[in-house]
Amino acid sequence: MTPELLFSHVGTAAMAGWALLILGPRRSVWLNALPLWIIPAGLSAVYAALIFSRFSGMGGGFDSLSDVAKLLADDWALLAAWVHFLAFDLFIGAVMAARMDRVSIGRLVQTPILLSTFMLGPLGFLIAALTELGLRARRLPTQTKSLEGTHNVFA
């Protein structure tokens, strides 16, 4: 199998996971398991196979940016890095979607956040985290003092 063919297969698997995550119903435990556990685990297995079968004797390393560039100059190492991104971004997207569901963030708001996680990884995570944090902060009770005593008021 060539790196290009494997690239195509892992990309298709990741796209299926993202499509389920964004468009699929979230009431089904099995459908939720696909983008959260099953597809990321499969991608992680591909990643492990690439690492264990291809990385011995490769040039480059992780000590400097130029060493990383040397390492990723190899198509198999670059593919392993890409599979790493696909697996982690999908897993994080599924976790963030579940968290946003729990705090009642609707699908229309979730969709651009999840798409940004798919396309831009950490930026999507940051947007999701800030959205959830903002919503949770709005719902925190604040204490007010009155003549009758302390009361919790939702802001």
Instruction: With both helix axes pointing from N to C terminus, report the angle between 65-72 and 75-102 in degrees, rounded to the nearest 10.
Output: 110
Q: What pLDDT shows up at residue 95?
A: 95
Phi-psi region of 78 (alpha: psi -120 to 50; beta: other; left: phi over 0): alpha
Question: Which residue ranges in the chain fall short of pLDDT 50?
Answer: 155
Cα 140–Cα 142–Cα 144 angle in degrees, nearest 5: 165
Overall pTM > 0.85: no
pLDDT computed for residue 155 by the predictor: 45
Report the phi/psi class of residue 145: left, alpha or beta, with left for phi > 0 and alpha for psi in -120 to 50: beta
Q: What is the pLDDT of residue 6?
A: 97
61 in Cβ contact with 67 (< 8 Å): yes
Query: Could you give the angle at which helices 122-139 and 107-120 cross, rounded to 10 degrees?
Result: 150
Do 136 and 123 contact (CB within 8 A), yes or no? Answer: no
Overall residue count recorded for the chain in this entry: 155
Identify the CA nearest to 77 among candidates 59, 100, 94, 65: 59
For 42-72, the pLDDT digits (tens) are 999 999 999 999 887 778 888 999 999 998 9
